[in-house]
A and B are shown apart, each in its own frame.
Chain A
Amino acid sequence: MARYVARKLAHTVAVLLLASLAVSGMLDLAPGDPAYAVLGDNATPEQVEKVHEQLGLDRPFLTRYVDWLDDVVTGDFGTSFKTGQDVTGLIVDALPVTAEIVLLTLLIAMLVAVPLGIACAQNAGGRIDRIVGASSSVLVAMPPFISVPLLAFAFVLQAQLFPATGWVDLAENPLENLHHIVLPTIALALYELPVFVAGLRTEMVSTLQQDFILNAKSKGLSRRAVLYRHALRPSSFSIVTLGGISLGRLIGGAVIVEILFVLPGIGSLSVNSINNKDIPVVQGVVMFVAITYVLVNTLIDILYGVLDPRVKAGAG
């Protein structure tokens, strides 16, 4: 058991190392000189050289990479070329925005998916099932960059219900915060919803055929009790896994909505820093995202064990 964990750990470390090396390497190869991003286009060669020295860009790639790695291990992600701010600080500032969007989206998608999936499963092939199925086919083909303009047209321009851009901090004004977050979250949730509904429906249909459901019914339990108390839990594994996978997609999706709605989250941070050739920021953000992604997937594995006592017992 310990050997297995050790091997997994070694593998993960190797993966993260390679990923960080690749990102750093790519950034190094990227066209454009960060010095110009800092100084502007009219910089003289001497100024450029000076900036190179300041930023340590005159050293060979591997040296820079190893130094960066060294710093990262101690928690220092370096400083931005452009603004000189602490990269860690930038990430910490941007994180709550993205986190709020992603988590809220997941929450909404799951909350809506559960009753929908159950409704479809209990009358598989029936009217609700077919309507939901047809809608799912459409929704799953509408990535955020398509749905956002449509939503914006309907709710921002025509109905004028929601603001087009901007962000208000949760701590400052919760209501306004929600006001700004509704459209981006809905756009993202609509894209994730079909997968959750389909996953739950499939698992539910097969669970509902099991003997213990009949047993529960034969005890006289109400339909609601049978569905939610007995059928839902064994069927929920797919939702948990899908949630983990969704998270990955959502981080990407968040990039789009953050740019569209001008929200100061990790997505905006990464795109802007890429455009600015602000290497430390890109390195830091991308690594941060990668680490989070890997961690989340590990958490999902653990969650599995909690949900299904059979797995904990080692039957899995």
Chain B
Amino acid sequence: MLTNPERGSDEPLLAVEGLRTRFPTERGVVHAVDDVSFDLARGERLGVVGESGSGKSVLARSVMRLLPSAAWSAGSVTFGGRDLMQLSDDQAREIWGSEIAMVFQNPMTSLNPVMRIGRQITESLELHEGLQGAAASDRAVALLRMVGIPEPASRLRSYPHELSGGMRQRVGIAIAIACSPKLLIADEPTTALDVTIQRKILDLLDRLGRELDMALILITHDLGVVAGRTDRLLVMYGGRVVEQGPTAALFRRPRHPYTASLLAAVPRLHQPSHTRLAAIPGRPVDVVDPAPGCRFAPRCARAQARCTEEDPQLAPAPGSPGHAFACFNPVEDPTSGSTVPVERPRVRGGSVDAEASVVVS
């Protein structure tokens, strides 16, 4: 719905409008993605943040149109001028891998365990770029080198289980960027990795995005991953976008209570030891046959009667261009209400330059 005003004149690379995805389950129909809209410009980096069950992974798959056959989907996903939702499987296959590619969360299960790594890379090259034999292998070696794998030529014949977790993820990335896609969707790319490796993988994604002029959708539950590495953020809860806008703006002044809680829940190094973590009470909602009202209301400290009766819609945040949130009782503007003194949070995995003052009254 809201485009980034700085790039307003360019055609967005990806325009998602009213995307909905539902699954039938034994418990009922799960509304995994509920009316999500956003744009993505060429080379832009978008972060999608939320807890487990927020719908962020399903959103990624829905955008790519890679859902199981039991899923029902609606809305439009315009990519390169075409609506992906209207494409047949054959047409979609032309795009998958060559224009849009995905990196998966668990590098141990996302690589074929009985196929050599080189083959898993050259497969895409053969399919989309018509490279064969030595040409394909050379390109595969170059890709492995690009993602930082030492001795790439000898690694071509390795099997996934012969590599460490971080290496496997690099290979997964190499496979994804093999045909220089315009959009890379990374679904929790670092969750299954050691902390020390996480940063390297994220730096790698950064670098590749710049070198290949590739747009990036970074999906995670970890705020530290998106801080400083994304241009814009989508915060999801219960299948809906509750807040979106420039990353810096959201970190500096979150409006939706959920975003504010997420930020508050991050432990700060300068806090005294044994400070209680500001956890969000309750558990993530399971969106089956949802009732009207804000989905976060049951856990929200700022909930009012209206919150359980009406669905809040995304509305622009005054004074913050490109920033929107969906809340009837947003976190107060710090310049008007009582505030907690500004803190400089050290968020894991990257540097956060912006101050974040969090007001939860």
B-binding residues in A (CB < 8 A): 210-212, 214-223, 225, 229-230, 233-234, 307-310, 313, 315
Task: Tell me the complex Cα distance, A218–B172, Å.
Answer: 12
Q: Provide the residues of chain A in CB contact with B97, threshold 8 Å.
A: 218-221
Stretch of B48-56, B110-118, B326-334 with 4 or more beta carbons under 8 angstroms from chain A: B110-118
The 3 closest A-B pairs by CB, nearest first: A220-B97, A220-B96, A219-B97
Flag if A219 contacts B112 (CB, 8 Å): no
Partner among B66, B112, B159 whose Cβ is within 8 Å of the Cβ of A212: B112
Q: Is B95 an interface residue (CB 8 A)?
A: yes
Contact indicator A220/B127 (Cβ below 8 Å): yes
Q: Does B138 contact A (CB under 8 A)?
A: no
Instruction: Select which of B96, B109, B115, B161 is within 8 A of A219 by beta carbon.
Output: B96
CA–CA, A41 to B280, complex, Å?
97
A-B contact pairs, 8 of them (CB 8 A): A216-B112, A218-B66, A218-B101, A219-B101, A219-B123, A221-B93, A229-B123, A309-B161
Asked if B102 CB lies within 8 Å of chain A CBs, one says yes
Contact of A309 among B102, B105, B114, B124 (CB under 8 A): B114
Chain B stretch 244-292: residues in CB contact (< 8 A) with chain A: none
Q: Which of A220, A230, A234, A315 contacts B94 (CB 8 A)?
A: A220
Is B106 among interface residues, defined by CB-CB distance under 8 A?
yes
Residue of B104, B124, B162 near A214 (CB, 8 A) is B104
Contact A219 B175 (CB under 8 A): yes
Does chain A have a CB within 8 A of B64? yes
Give the chain B neighbours of A225 by CB distance below 8 A.
Answer: 123, 127
Most buried by B among A210, A218, A308: A218
Q: Which residues, 119 to 134 on B, are CB-close (under 8 Å) to A?
A: 123-124, 127-128
Of chain B, the residue at the smallest CB distance from A208 is B68
B98 at the interface (CB under 8 A from A): yes
| Least CB separation from B172: chain A residue | A215
- Chain A proximity of B175: nearest CB distance (Å): 7
- CB pair A234–B114 under 8 Å, yes or no, is yes
A234 to B109, alpha carbons, bound, how many Å?
12
Contacts of B123 in A (CB 8 A): 216, 219, 221, 225, 229
A215 CB contacts on chain B under 8 angstroms = 102, 104, 110-112, 172, 175
In the bound complex, residues from chain B placing their C-beta under 8 Å from that of A307 are 114
Do B114 and A221 touch across chains, with their CB atoms under 8 A apart? no
Structural contact, A308 and B112, CB atoms closer than 8 A: no
Residue of chain B at shortest CB distance from A235: B114
The CA-CA distance from A234 to B113 in the complex, in Å, is 8
Which residues, 57 to 112 on B, are CB-close (under 8 Å) to A?
A: 64, 66, 89, 93-98, 101-102, 104-106, 109-112
Given the contacts A210-B109, A214-B66, A214-B104, A220 and B124 also touching, CB distance less than 8 Å: yes
Cβ–Cβ < 8 Å partners of B127 in chain A:
219-221, 225
Q: How far is the CA of A217 from the CA of B100 in the complex (A)?
A: 12
Q: How far is the CA of A151 from the CA of B95 in the complex (A)?
A: 51
Q: Which residue of B lies closest to A313 (CB)?
A: B161
Contacts of A211 in B (CB 8 A): 104-106, 109-110
Contact of B128 among A212, A220, A233 (CB under 8 A): A220
A315 in contact with B114 given A219-B97, A220-B97 (CB within 8 Å): no
Among residues of A, the one whose C-beta sits closest to the C-beta of B110 is A211
Smallest CB–CB gap between B99 and chain A, Å?
9
Q: Which of A217, A230, A307 has the most CB of B within 10 A?
A: A217
Residue of chain A at shortest CB distance from B89: A223
A218-B64, A221-B123, A315-B161 given as contacts; is B110 within 8 A of A212 (CB)? Answer: yes
| Complex Cα gap A217–B64 (Å) | 11
Shortest Cβ gap from B277 to chain A (Å): 31
Distance, CA A220 to CA B101, complexed state (A) = 9
CB distance from A24 to the nearest CB of B (A): 46
Complex: A214 Cα to B93 Cα, angstroms: 13
Distance of A215 Cα from B114 Cα, bound (Å): 14
- Given pairs A214-B110, A216-B123, A221-B127, 15 additional interface contacts (CB within 8 A): A210-B109, A211-B104, A211-B105, A211-B110, A212-B110, A214-B66, A215-B111, A215-B112, A216-B112, A219-B175, A221-B97, A233-B115, A309-B113, A310-B113, A315-B161
Residues of B within 8 A of A315 (CB): 161
Bound Cα distance A94, B124 (Å): 51
How far, in angstroms, from A212 to B107 measured CA to CA in the complex? Answer: 9
Query: How many Å lie between the Cα of A223 and that of B69 in the bound state?
Result: 14
In the docked arrangement, what's the CA distance between A210 and B113, Å? 11
Chain B residues contacting A218 (CB-CB under 8 Å) are 64, 66, 96-97, 101-102
Provide the bound-state CA to CA distance between A221 and B90, in Å.
10
Residues from chain A with Cβ under 8 Å of B94 in the complex: 220
The answer to whether B161 touches A234 (Cβ under 8 A) is: no
Q: Which of B132-184 contact A (CB under 8 A)?
A: 159, 161-162, 172, 175
The answer to whether B114 and A222 have CB atoms under 8 Å apart is: no
Q: Are A220 and B98 in contact (CB under 8 A)?
A: yes
**In the assembled complex, how far is the CB of residue A126 from the closest CB belonging to chain B, in whole angstroms?**
10
Closest-by-CB residue of A relative to B95 is: A220
Task: State in angstroms the CA–CA spacing of A211 and B107 once bound together.
Answer: 9
**How far is A312 from B309 in the complex, measured between Cα atoms in Å?**
61
Shortest Cβ distance from A232 into B: residue: B114
**A233 close to B114 (CB less than 8 A):** yes
Nearest chain A residue, comparing its CB with the CB of B159 = A309
| Contact residues in B for A308 (Cβ distance below 8 Å) | 114
Q: Report B18 CB to chain A, min CB distance, Å.
A: 23
Most buried by B among A211, A215, A222, A313: A215
Known: A214-B104, A219-B123. A230 touches B112 (CB 8 A): yes
Residues of A within 8 A of B66 (CB): 214, 217-218
> In the complex, how many angstroms separate the beta carbon of B80 from the nearest chain A beta carbon?
15
Tell me which residues across on chain A come within 8 A of B64, comparing CB atoms.
Answer: 218
Nearest Cβ distance between residue B244 and chain A, in whole angstroms? 25
